[in-house]
A and B are shown apart, each in its own frame.
Chain A
Amino acid sequence: MPLWLREHRWHQTPAAVFLSLPLRGARATPDSIFCSERYLKVSIPPFLFEAILYAPIDDTNSTAKIGNGNIFFTLYKKEPGLWDSLTLENADKEKLQYLRENAVLKAQQKAKEETEAKKATKEEHKKYALEATMKLEEAERKRIEDLKEKERQKVTEELELWKNQQNDADKYKNIQKEGELHQEIGQLKERKSEKMTKTRIPNEGTSKTRPKPTKGHGSCSIFSPNVKEEQLPAPRSAATIKVNFTPRVFPTALRESRVAEEEEWLHKQAEARRTISADLSELEDLKEDEKNPDWLKDKGNKMFAMGNYLAAVNAYNLAVRLNNKLPLLYLNRAACHLKLRNLHKAIEDSSKALELLTPPVPDNEEARVKAYVRRGTAFCQLELYTEGLQDYEAALKIDPKNKNIEKDAEKIRHLIQGTMQGS
């Protein structure tokens, strides 16, 4: 049971009620006071004071002062007048309860409204601040733009001025030259009086047309070019300087970022040429030439050209046994197998060639294109058209300008579409 505080004193004016409540040692904080239009409560556990006010008050403007063991309320009445008493004396319990609840509800509502109002003002302020900053930035931007524009205009004006100066200078030169022209014509006429007819016609011709500086000078300064050429030295006596270039294997330009890749490729090639996978017992009775993979490759090429595909294959086989790192051997052997319709072997050899032709540099482009094309052909002849098309497209990617590959790729595409439609 709370302890009721009943020792309050109050007095009033028509507009306000002043209530003083001694606290008997209890410590009051602003939270302990609850006030609404008709209900006033002070709760400092275990103390409690409540009052159902006689008439409504304006609770927003009313104040409470806490101090000196007292709370001093200044309650402004909603309707001026004198109250008979501070509280409603003869109110029954239910009414009291109702009023209390009402009061609480009202207070809550008011609180809510207040927070909302606060939020609204906060948003207003934010918007305002944002607009202000935007304006400032806009102004700054405009200022810079204006500066630039001014700069541009100034420069354009200067340019126009300069151009006009040029034009004036040119006109002046023109006039001068015409003057000189007439002078020279006069001199010529004097000098070549015998050949009057010959000289007069071209001179009159030039003086009639509007001589531009170039023409004027060119046709009439008969004696000036000689003078000029004397001032210039004679043409140099021809000579050749022989030039040596920093060696570069690849035909493309040197780029620092590609150097590593290119080095790798060259290294691989060098390695390949040096390795000789030896199977010495069989190779003892071979001639010197036949131990050289390059010579064997040439032999193989010749056989291929003559149409003797089996012999070519033999040559390549031997070369591969001696050195299985040369991609060109596999490449050429693949071509032979194609001709011999050993399609699976052709595919194998082309694949091996492609493996050896990494890293892809512009140097081995041609070889790679050939490998893809041969493998593609083999696939197609085996009726594995999709794989074949893949290889043709890879070849096209390396060499997009090759019409033959394009044509063949088209044909394969049609074939694939044909079979798909058929089945």
Chain B
Amino acid sequence: MSAAPGLERPQVVSHAQQALNYTVFDCKWVPRSARLLCLGSAARGTGLVQLYELRGARLELLREIEKPKPIKCGTFGATSLQQRYLATGDFDGNLNIWNLEAPEIPVYSVKGHKEIINSIDGVGGLGIGEGAPEIVTGSRDGTVKVWDPRQKDTPVANMEPVQGESKRDCWTVAFGNAYNQEERVVCAGYDNGDIKLFDLKTMSLRWETNIKNGVCSVEFDRKDINMNKLVATSLEGKFHVFDMRTQHPTKGFASVSEKAQKSTIWQVRHLPQNRDIFMTSGGSGSLHLWKYEYPAQRSKKDSEGAEMGVAGSVNLLQNVTLSTQPISSLDWSPDKKGLCVCGAFDQTVRVLIVTKLNKI
């Protein structure tokens, strides 16, 4: 693992930061704007959504919306660019879609799960990809449910434990492979180290594996292409990059894993403008910027003649420590390359700029 020399490496520059008086669980850029949202839980046990605008080197609070239950996660993934509705999952298992201009009544609401919704993802919106807009939620009750905002009350897909089996918490979900109207997969990571890939076209389990540590975050490098790479991060400072182009009948997908730091890796986010660069955020308050290098040949034949994938390698481009508390959420701006926001458990949200990404 060789790092690019000295000042030619991408630098992570701290642009603005804002101290908050509540715990922030998720932060997201509002698409096509210089505004960002912070979602979290206030001390009195209610949920907060704050809308900030980036002005100069400061974050200006535009709007604050309070909701009865603390909010854990949110996504813009399933709305159109004009509407920009926010879908949120809260501590009570409710999935709500809000119009931020009129946030009193949700546009869509359902009590989707019995326990906290840990993770949410959306696909089909924002002009990215094709197919119906859908939202997937993963919850502590062990189920993963896919919702269509046009269908009330019942999910369009439900991945639940077999009757009688004890459940494991689902910690993270992600959409992928949405390259045409029919294809779609959902990847879910659980606290016992399971990663499961569900194919929504055939409504079946396509692949599963166990990475020996609870899975904190999964993300495909792009949602709207034929699935290319999947990064899964876990406890104990490890993450795995799976090459999703070639599935072997027994061995599954090839992967390379890195141990970045001793603490949990909370989030992974790919750069929207370059799918081989991703950033991981850690429990020790650090951010690591990685680049994936493809191998010379992405697939090869094994002894029986079946195709199997070959994993490449991961290089550390830069790392920086911003805080002493875990950085639990991270989001790249889809409009400006290198602009990202991260929220940490020290009740601070930071806007960072990563430079020299053009030269990678």
Closest B residue, CB atoms, query A229: B150
A163 and B60 alpha carbons, distance in the complex (Å): 14
Contacts of A246 in B (CB 8 A): 192-194, 210
B193 touches A166 (CB 8 A): no
A156 and B16 alpha carbons, distance in the complex (Å): 10
A213 touches B82 (CB 8 A): yes
Contacts of B324 in A (CB 8 A): none
Q: Can you list, as one digit per residue, whether each of A228-247 has a CB less than 8 Å from chain B (1) or not (0)?
A: 00001111111111111110
A248 touches B168 (CB 8 A): yes
Contacts of B15 in A (CB 8 A): 152, 155-156, 159
B203 at the interface (CB under 8 A from A): yes
Chain B residues 156 to 196 lying within 8 A of chain A, measured CB to CB, are 156-162, 165-169, 181-182, 190-194, 196
A237 touches B156 (CB 8 A): yes
A235 touches B161 (CB 8 A): no
Contacts of A243 in B (CB 8 A): 142, 144, 159-162, 196, 205
A397 at the interface (CB under 8 A from B): no
B203 touches A239 (CB 8 A): yes
A252 and B11 alpha carbons, distance in the complex (Å): 38
Chain A residues 231 to 285 lying within 8 A of chain B, measured CB to CB, are 232-246, 248, 252-257, 259
A244 touches B161 (CB 8 A): yes
Contacts of B205 in A (CB 8 A): 241, 243
B213 at the interface (CB under 8 A from A): yes
- Closest chain-A Cβ to B86's Cβ sits at a distance in Å of 12
A160 touches B192 (CB 8 A): no
Closest A residue, CB atoms, query B157: A239
Chain B residues 82 to 122 lying within 8 A of chain A, measured CB to CB, are 82-84, 99, 101
A215 touches B101 (CB 8 A): yes
B193 touches A232 (CB 8 A): no
- Closest chain-B Cβ to A291's Cβ sits at a distance in Å of 30
A235 touches B150 (CB 8 A): yes
A255-B336 contact, Cβ under 8 Å, with A240-B158, A243-B161: no
Contact of B157 among A151, A238, A259 (CB under 8 A): A238
A351 and B355 alpha carbons, distance in the complex (Å): 62
Contact of A241 among B84, B132, B204 (CB under 8 A): B204
A241 touches B148 (CB 8 A): no
Contact of B13 among A151, A163, A232 (CB under 8 A): A151
A255 touches B157 (CB 8 A): no
A217 and B148 alpha carbons, distance in the complex (Å): 21
B148 touches A254 (CB 8 A): no
A213 and B84 alpha carbons, distance in the complex (Å): 11
B212 at the interface (CB under 8 A from A): yes
A151-B355 contact, Cβ under 8 Å, with A237-B156, A243-B205: yes
A411 at the interface (CB under 8 A from B): no
A214 touches B83 (CB 8 A): yes
- Closest chain-A Cβ to B221's Cβ sits at a distance in Å of 24
Interface hub of A234, A252, A256 (most chain B Cβ within 10 A): A256
Query: How many A-B contacts if CB must be within 8 Å?
Result: 145
Q: Can you list, as one digit per residue, whether each of B122-145 has a CB less than 8 Å from chain A (1) or not (0)?
A: 001000000111100000001010
B214 touches A242 (CB 8 A): no
A65 at the interface (CB under 8 A from B): no
A255 and B236 alpha carbons, distance in the complex (Å): 7
Closest A residue, CB atoms, query B85: A214
B168 touches A245 (CB 8 A): yes
B212 touches A253 (CB 8 A): no
A212 at the interface (CB under 8 A from B): yes
A235 and B84 alpha carbons, distance in the complex (Å): 20
Contacts of B274 in A (CB 8 A): none
A244 touches B148 (CB 8 A): no
A235 and B57 alpha carbons, distance in the complex (Å): 44
- Closest chain-B Cβ to A114's Cβ sits at a distance in Å of 50
Contacts of A217 in B (CB 8 A): 82-83
A253 touches B191 (CB 8 A): yes
B54 at the interface (CB under 8 A from A): yes
B320 at the interface (CB under 8 A from A): no
- Closest chain-B Cβ to A167's Cβ sits at a distance in Å of 8
Closest B residue, CB atoms, query A245: B168
A147 at the interface (CB under 8 A from B): yes
A166-B33 contact, Cβ under 8 Å, with A235-B148, A235-B151: yes
- Closest chain-B Cβ to A304's Cβ sits at a distance in Å of 28
A214-B212 contact, Cβ under 8 Å, with A159-B353, A245-B165, A253-B192: no
Contacts of A155 in B (CB 8 A): 13, 15, 338, 353, 355
- Closest chain-A Cβ to B106's Cβ sits at a distance in Å of 15
Chain B residues 36 to 78 lying within 8 A of chain A, measured CB to CB, are 54, 56-57
A148 at the interface (CB under 8 A from B): yes
A254 and B211 alpha carbons, distance in the complex (Å): 9
A159-B168 contact, Cβ under 8 Å, with A241-B203, A241-B204, A245-B192: no
B212 touches A256 (CB 8 A): yes
A242-B56 contact, Cβ under 8 Å, with A159-B15, A254-B212: no
- Closest chain-B Cβ to A250's Cβ sits at a distance in Å of 9
Closest B residue, CB atoms, query A154: B355
A172 at the interface (CB under 8 A from B): no
A241 and B203 alpha carbons, distance in the complex (Å): 6
A245-B156 contact, Cβ under 8 Å, with A159-B15, A215-B101, A236-B146: no
A233-B131 contact, Cβ under 8 Å, with A214-B83, A253-B192: yes
B236 touches A256 (CB 8 A): yes
Q: Which 7 residue pairs spanning A and B have beta carbons closest together?
A: A253-B214, A253-B191, A235-B148, A236-B156, A239-B203, A248-B192, A235-B151
With A166-B32, A244-B165, A257-B236 already in contact, 10 other A-B pairs whose C-beta atoms are closer than 8 Å: A232-B132, A240-B157, A243-B162, A245-B166, A248-B192, A253-B213, A254-B192, A254-B235, A255-B236, A256-B235
Please list 20 pairs of residues, one from A and one from B, whose beta carbons are closer than 8 Å in the complex, sorted by A's number.
Answer: A147-B7, A152-B13, A156-B56, A159-B339, A166-B33, A166-B34, A236-B200, A239-B158, A241-B159, A243-B162, A244-B162, A245-B168, A245-B194, A248-B168, A252-B191, A254-B213, A255-B235, A255-B236, A256-B212, A256-B236
